[in-house]
Chains A and B, each alone.
Chain A
Amino acid sequence: MSLQTPRVLPAHLHAFHPSSSGPRSAHTVRLLGTVTALRGDTATITCGNNGDVTLILKPDSHLQMGKLVEVIGKVTDLENGQGVGLRLLGSTDWGNPADCDYKIYENLVNVTHRFKTIFYDSNE
Chain B
Amino acid sequence: MPGEMNSPAGGKNDYNNATLRPITIKQALDAIQPYPEAPYQIDSAEAVSITFVGQVRNISSQSTNVTYKIDDGTGEIEAKQWIDSMAGDSMDTDDPNASKPPGKNQIELNGYARVFGKLKSFGNKRFVGAHCVRPVTDINEVNYHLLEAAAVHLFFTRGPPGEKSEGEGGNVKSGLAGDGKGGADASMGGTDEASRGLPAMSPIARRVYNLLRTEPQSNEGLHAQLIAAKLSLPMPDVARAGDELLTAGVIFSTVDEQTWAILEF
Contacts and interface: CB of A to CB of B under 8 A. Distances in A.
Contact of B146 (A68, A94, A108): A108
Nearest to A108: B143
B191 interface: no
Contacts of B170: 107
B73 A68 contact: no
Contacts of A112: 146, 150
Interface in B17-47: 23-24, 26-27, 29
Contacts of A99: 138-140
Given A104-B147, A111-B147, A120-B26, A4 B140 contact: no
Contacts of B154: 115
The CB with the most chain A CB atoms within 10 A, among B26, B27, B138, B170, is that of: B26
A6 to B, nearest CB: 7
A119 B74 CA distance: 5
B68 to A, nearest CB: 14
Interface residues of A, number: 28
B55 A92 contact: yes
B110 interface: yes
A31 B142 CA distance: 13
A7 B139 CA distance: 13
B139 A70 contact: yes
B9 to A, nearest CB: 22
Contact of A4 (B73, B111, B149): B73
B89 interface: no
A32 B75 CA distance: 19
B92 to A, nearest CB: 23
Given A118-B74, A119-B150, 10 more contacts: A4-B75, A5-B73, A90-B110, A94-B139, A99-B139, A111-B146, A118-B24, A118-B26, A118-B27, A118-B153
23 contacts: A3-B76, A4-B26, A4-B73, A4-B75, A32-B139, A68-B139, A92-B55, A99-B139, A100-B139, A101-B140, A104-B140, A104-B144, A104-B147, A105-B139, A108-B143, A111-B147, A115-B153, A118-B24, A118-B26, A119-B26, A119-B74, A119-B146, A121-B26
